């Protein structure tokens, strides 16, 4: 390319036209059409098959699924998808989604945490209310529960994928490999009364027992034992929910979290086995027993009496455990066993979740076609839509309104099933019409009619518990106590629970009332109001306090002098929420009191057409506080009296008057303020009155004002900087020379957010619709604020800086800390949500600091783990390893991919396709956890002048074709904004970076898939394209 340019220059060719090789690169670059398009329908019909990504309607079978237990959930998400979906959530007041969750999960909090990339905080919120949060994120019937109450159902884009977000956050936490620990605020186990060492037995290691044991252990109980009949943990989660919906390592992970708290498990010892009964447990000294054994027996239909798997008949409780044992790595030591071998047609009877699990599992065991047969119609299907959709996608057939009548046998093998038509009478009852029958050929029949207690030995082992008319224990729905006060019950066994999450809540409910019962046995009082401890890890003990200017801040987060501190009552609520400091809204002497206009605070336009929360910017023409100096001085006194550990900073403003500044500063100090902030930067309104910006843009005025205040008070004070100036460093130096303790960087940026098509701005005032330049705040000004903080910190080492401007997450706060500001002020983020966001910021910062001490996580970016090669959030095999080439995921290439993967899966047994995940031992810090103070300013040495940058160390882009979704955004931006260094294949739409890449990084910036394009060191020296070589003269 360089030689060609030189030759063209020498030959006098036109240089303002692209050379032929670039024209070839630009072949698919967008062009504005000059005419209407014309294409025969037949050509389009052919073309769309080439580009098709979804399933073809005419397809009656999908590719082979034999041995393929890869994730099939529609809800699974990558980090990109999770961030986008979490950003859609409104985080509603009194959120209906939470009220629809059996465990009352704080859904808006955990989704809010995800939106700020605080995945630990999200997982902590989830596990606090649901110890099986990952399991439930994968298998919860969310459309019937939390999602069913989502307020976004009332909008066009539809409800939030709550289950997918829950799965994402808890999986990220799983990869952190951290232990669960006791609530640090509770007494140590050796300090607790003897009642906390009472022996408690839990029968069955399913969701209800795991939940109950976890909450009891969090309360401080030290002698908890789960007795499990089988040689594996997890109950039905392990044995009857297939690997492609719920991997065994998920169950194992959650059980390990429970065991972190000291809970013991004894396998091969179940209720009714080897003499284990409720009475025997009591005789062994167990003061309370929890029954969470589920319903162990399948309900049977008379037509199938005497039939077994040898004939081709399975119940769901026969078939699904066989599949699980031979497809779930780590579940049991049975690697030599193979999946049940099916062939031909399989009929599955039932229409609940279990029936669909049988149907989709049958395909993976070799069935060629699966019929799901059920008595009622599609409107009566019990399974949740998410579960049914998988069966639809995998081409299972559905036969409603029929009931089994007779099994057709040939010798000792099933060859068919006779079915009878069912109809619903006007009174709602269902009847069978014997005149309408149908025979269906099949090789196997599976029944999924539900479960029952059945076993007399198990029922007898529950004595002396009273049974109801259905043969199940009588259970108080609130306390979960049976007729025997020392025996509690939950899960399927109570006859009310139908889902995993409801079983979890039964265990949670039982734990509290078991706690009350056990303490009453020892004569100890338990508060009436339930107070179950939350989920904790070592992260929660990280100290994020910091000292600045002689002041001790509990954490780096405070409220800026703005609308969140309109009143002292609001500051009080903020302190109660956990904010460590707050600035009053700026107040003045009574002679300078103001009255605001309205409207005055509007959404920004810098993030595009986003409506609702999540605004990237706001613009305001609000002035300072309308309240008097006397009000604020009294409130400062009250707040310091009631919150002595919190920092209260008085924000004050005057004109260029020594007397005024002296008087107002002294009044504020006398009121008890910990520090002052001198508002020298309000960008609108006040400057016209000789205040705010009018003072803050002149170094001499700033220097003198600071001298006056320094002479008037002894407490620290900070001059608030304006960004609306050529050099903010000069103003900061003037403040320091005047005796200021530090500065705040920065106030809002003066701007005009926009005008409508009629030339009217928003906000506008009165009939004349006039406006003025207002203050822009939020994420839009973050780069300006970061520059100001880092520039001041580099120029004035050790000079305290408080940061303000676009802080809306813990990782953003850490950026400002690393740029030199020990504490940060927040405003616009509260506009978008509420005061409770501080909990997100606190847990997020603790996690960011703690994870830096874990050597095994050094390749993480904050709380983001390395991106796994994926499509639709699910890992994809590297085809280069299988066939030596890349293939896109559409049309004929997708079919080829599926065929290659299917062939590979068929050749490898499920248990050999992956190894069990390892969750323990946990990752331990190999070095001290850094403090906030350790982080202050660590980025500054890397922020330098342009001339200090090394133009010899170049980088180039590389594209991961397995993750590419073939959109061509990288190709287009490189063509029309860059260096024409990416080709775009017309058939595969796979982009390729050529040797002409200059490393500009535009492609990375516009790529919609995280880490699909990355930058790597350039392998060859960089030779700029000069157009005309330096030694050649231009041709005139």
Q: Are 480 and 452 in contact (CB under 8 A)?
A: no
Residue 99 to residue 86: CA distance in whole angstroms: 19
What pLDDT was estimated at residue 817? 98
Tokens of 439: 């025979």
**Core vs surface per residue 406-432: b (16+ CB within 10 A) or e:** ebeeeeeebebbebbbbeeeeeeeeeb
Residue 723 to residue 791: CA distance in whole angstroms: 12
Q: Are 782 and 809 in contact (CB under 8 A)?
A: no
Query: How many residues can be counted in the chain?
Result: 1036
Helices (H), 928-993: 932-935, 969-977
Q: Phi and psi dihedrals of 461, rounded to 5?
A: -70, -15
Q: Of 492, 495, 387, 503, give the one whose Cα is nearest residue 102.
A: 503
Distance between start and end Cα atoms, the chain: 23
Residue 891 to residue 844: CA distance in whole angstroms: 43
Cβ within 8 Å of residue 869, ≥6 positions away:
875, 876, 878, 960, 962, 963
Cβ within 8 Å of residue 82, ≥6 positions away:
114, 164, 165, 168, 169
Classified as helix, coil or strand, 739 is coil
Residue 109 to residue 117: CA distance in whole angstroms: 13
Q: How far is CA 848 from CA 790, 819, 858, in A?
A: 21, 16, 11
Q: Are 503 and 211 in contact (CB under 8 A)?
A: yes
Residue 272 to residue 260: CA distance in whole angstroms: 28
Tokens of 686: 């006040």
Q: How far is CA 908 from CA 26, 66, 432, 664, in A?
A: 44, 10, 46, 79
What pLDDT was estimated at residue 265? 97
**Core vs surface per residue 81-93: b (16+ CB within 10 A) or e:** bbbebbebbbbbe
Q: How many CA atoms lie within 13 A of 842 on its CB side?
A: 21
Q: How many CB atoms lie within 10 A of CB 396?
A: 22
DSSP structure class, residue 57: T
Residue 450 to residue 293: CA distance in whole angstroms: 15
Sign of the C-alpha dihedral computed for residues 359, 363, 366 and 368 taken in this order: positive
Helices (H), 537-593: 568-577
Helices (H), 89-206: 96-99, 107-115, 119-129, 133-139, 162-176
Classified as helix, coil or strand, 212 is helix
Query: Strand locations in 805-927, DSSP E?
Result: 823-826, 870-871, 874-875
What pLDDT was estimated at residue 478? 96
Q: How far is CA 237 from CA 356, 743, 815, in A?
A: 15, 57, 42
List, for the chain, all residue ranges whose pLDDT scores fall below the cut of 50: none
The residue assigned the tokens 């017309």 is: 986
Classified as helix, coil or strand, 219 is helix
Residue 893 to residue 300: CA distance in whole angstroms: 46
Q: Are 586 and 682 in contact (CB under 8 A)?
A: yes
Classified as helix, coil or strand, 491 is helix
165 burial via Cβ count (<10 Å: 0-12, 13-18, 19+): buried
Residue 704 to residue 654: CA distance in whole angstroms: 13
Q: How many CB atoms lie within 10 A of CB 355?
A: 27
Longest dimension (CA), the chain: 109
3-state SS, 585-643, equals CCECCHHHCCCCCCCCEEECCCCCCCCCCCCCCEEECCCCCCCCHHHHHHHHHHHHHHC
Q: What is the pTM of this model?
A: 0.95
Helices (H), 810-890: 810-818, 828-832, 837-851, 879-883
Q: Are 703 and 739 in contact (CB under 8 A)?
A: no
Q: Of 737, 771, 734, give the one whose Cα is nearest residue 754.
A: 771
Catalytic residue list = 682
What pLDDT was estimated at residue 970? 97
Helices (H), 308-442: 316-325, 353-364, 385-393
Q: Of 174, 165, 164, give the one whose Cα is nearest residue 110.
A: 165
The residue assigned the tokens 């605001």 is: 596
Q: Of 10, 245, 18, give the one whose Cα is nearest residue 137.
A: 245
Q: Are 488 and 482 in contact (CB under 8 A)?
A: yes
Residue 342 to residue 907: CA distance in whole angstroms: 16
Q: How far is CA 215 from CA 265, 530, 532, in A?
A: 16, 12, 7
What H or E segment, with its residue span, contains residue 441? strand 430-441
The CA-CA-CA angle for residues 322, 326, 330, to 5°, reads: 120
Tokens of 1031: 């030694």
């Amino acid at each position: 390319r360089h030689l060609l340019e030189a030759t063209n220059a020498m030959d006098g060719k036109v240089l303002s036209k692209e050379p032929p090789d670039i024209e070839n690169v630009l072949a698919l670059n967008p062009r504005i059409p000059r005419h209407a398009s014309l294409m025969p329908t037949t050509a389009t019909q052919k073309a769309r098959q080439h580009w098709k990504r979804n399933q073809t309607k005419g397809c009656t079978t999908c590719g082979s699924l034999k041995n393929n237990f890869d994730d099939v959930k529609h809800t699974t998400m990558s980090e990109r998808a999770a961030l986008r979906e979490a950003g859609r959530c409104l985080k509603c007041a009194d959120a209906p989604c939470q009220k629809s969750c059996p465990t009352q999960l704080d859904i808006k909090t955990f989704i809010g945490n995800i939106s700020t990339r605080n995945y630990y905080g999200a997982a902590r919120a989830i596990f606090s209310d649901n110890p099986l949060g990952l399991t439930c994120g994968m298998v919860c019937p969310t459309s019937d529960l939390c999602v069913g109450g989502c307020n976004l159902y009332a909008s066009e884009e539809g409800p939030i994928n709550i289950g997918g977000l829950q799965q994402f956050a808890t999986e990220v936490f799983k990869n952190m490999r951290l232990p669960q620990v006791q609530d640090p605020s509770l007494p140590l186990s050796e300090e607790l009364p003897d009642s906390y060492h009472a022996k408690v037995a839990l029968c069955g290691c399913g969701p209800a027992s795991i939940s109950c044991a976890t909450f009891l252990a969090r309360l401080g109980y030290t002698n908890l034992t789960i007795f499990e009949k089988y040689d594996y943990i997890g109950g039905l989660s392990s044995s009857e929910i297939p690997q492609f919906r719920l991997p065994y390592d998920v169950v194992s992970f959650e059980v390990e979290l429970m065991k972190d708290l000291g809970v013991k498990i004894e396998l091969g010892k179940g209720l009714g086995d080897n003499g284990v009964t409720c009475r025997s447990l009591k005789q062994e000294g167990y003061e309370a027993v929890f029954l969470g054994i589920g319903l162990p027996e399948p309900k049977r239909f008379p037509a199938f009496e005497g039939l077994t798997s040898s004939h081709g008949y399975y119940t769901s409780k026969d078939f699904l455990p066989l599949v699980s044992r031979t497809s779930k790595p780590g579940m049991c030591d049975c690697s030599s066993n193979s999946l049940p071998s099916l062939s031909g047609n399989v009929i599955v009877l039932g229409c609940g979740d279990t029936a669909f699990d049988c149907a989709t599992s049958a395909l993976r065991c070799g069935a060629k076609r699966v019929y799901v047969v059920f008595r009622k119609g599609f409107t009566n299907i019990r399974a949740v839509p998410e579960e049914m959709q998988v069966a639809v996608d995998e081409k299972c057939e559905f036969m409603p309104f029929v009931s089994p009548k007779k099994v057709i046998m040939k010798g000792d093998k099933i060859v068919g099933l006779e079915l009878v038509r069912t109809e619903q009478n006007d009174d709602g009852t269902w009847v069978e019409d014997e005149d309408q029958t149908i025979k269906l050929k099949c090789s196997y029949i599976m029944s999924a009619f539900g479960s029952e207690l059945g076993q007399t030995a198990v029922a007898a082992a529950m004595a002396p518990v009273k049974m109801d008319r259905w043969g199940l224990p009588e259970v108080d729905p609130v306390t979960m106590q049976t007729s025997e006060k020392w025996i509690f019950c939950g899960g399927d066994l109570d006859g009310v629970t139908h889902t995993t999450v409801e079983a979890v809540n039964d265990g949670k409910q039982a734990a509290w009332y078991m706690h009350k019962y056990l303490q009453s046995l020892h004569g100890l009082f338990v508060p009436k109001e339930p107070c179950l401890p939350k989920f904790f890890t070592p992260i929660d003990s990280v100290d994020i306090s910091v000292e600045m200017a002689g002041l001790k801040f509990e954490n780096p987060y405070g409220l800026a002098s703005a609308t969140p501190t309109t009143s002292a009552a609001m500051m009080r609520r903020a302190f109660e929420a956990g904010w460590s400091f707050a600035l009053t809204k700026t107040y003045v002497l009574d002679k300078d009191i103001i009255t605001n206009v309205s409207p005055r605070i509007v959404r920004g336009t810098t993030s595009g057409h986003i409506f609702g929360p999540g605004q990237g910017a706001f613009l305001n023409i609000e002035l300072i506080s309308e309240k008097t100096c006397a009000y604020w001085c009294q409130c400062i006194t009250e707040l310091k009296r009631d919150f002595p550990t919190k920092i209260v900073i008085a924000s004050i403003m005057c004109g260029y008057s020594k007397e005024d500044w002296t008087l107002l500063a002294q009044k504020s100090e006398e009121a008890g303020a910990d520090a002052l902030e001198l508002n020298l930067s309000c960008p609108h309104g006040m400057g016209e009155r000789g205040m705010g910006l009018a003072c803050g843009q002149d170094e001499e005025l700033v220097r003198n004002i600071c001298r006056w205040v320094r002479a008037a008070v002894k407490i620290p004070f900070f001059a608030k900087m304006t960004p609306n100036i050529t050099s903010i460093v000069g103003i900061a130096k003037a403040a320091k020379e005047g005796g200021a303790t530090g500065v705040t960087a920065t106030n809002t940026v003066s701007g005009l957010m926009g005008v409508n098509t009629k030339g009217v701005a928003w906000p506008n005032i009165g009939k004349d619709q006039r406006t003025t330049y207002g203050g822009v705040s939020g994420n839009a000004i973050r780069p300006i604020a970061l520059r100001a903080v880092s520039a001041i910190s580099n120029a004035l080492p050790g000079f305290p800086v408080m940061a303000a401007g676009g802080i809306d997450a813990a990782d953003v706060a850490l950026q400002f800390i690393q740029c030199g500001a020990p504490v940060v002020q927040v405003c616009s983020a509260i506009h978008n949500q509420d005061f409770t966001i501080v909990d997100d910021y606190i847990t997020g910062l603790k996690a960011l600091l703690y994870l830096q001490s874990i050597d095994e996580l050094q390749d993480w970016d904050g709380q983001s783990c390395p991106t796994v090669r994926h499509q639709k959030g699910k890992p994809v095999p590297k085809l280069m390893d299988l066939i030596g080439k890349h293939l896109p995921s559409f049309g004929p290439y997708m079919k080829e991919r599926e065929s290659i993967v299917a062939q590979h899966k068929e050749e490898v047994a499920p248990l050999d396709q992956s190894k069990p995940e390892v969750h323990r031992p946990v990752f331990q810090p190999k070095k001290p956890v850094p403090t906030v103070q350790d982080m202050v300013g660590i980025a500054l040495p890397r922020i330098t002048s342009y001339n200090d940058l090394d133009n010899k160390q170049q980088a180039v882009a590389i594209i991961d074709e397995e993750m590419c979704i073939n959109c061509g955004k990288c190709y287009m931006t490189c063509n029309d904004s860059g260096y024409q260094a990416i080709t775009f294949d017309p058939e595969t739409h796979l982009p390729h970076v050529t040797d002409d890449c200059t490393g500009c990084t535009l492609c990375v910036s516009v790529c919609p898939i995280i880490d699909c394009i990355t930058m790597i060191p350039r392998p060859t020296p960089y030779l700029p394209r000069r157009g005309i070589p330096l030694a050649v003269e231009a041709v005139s």
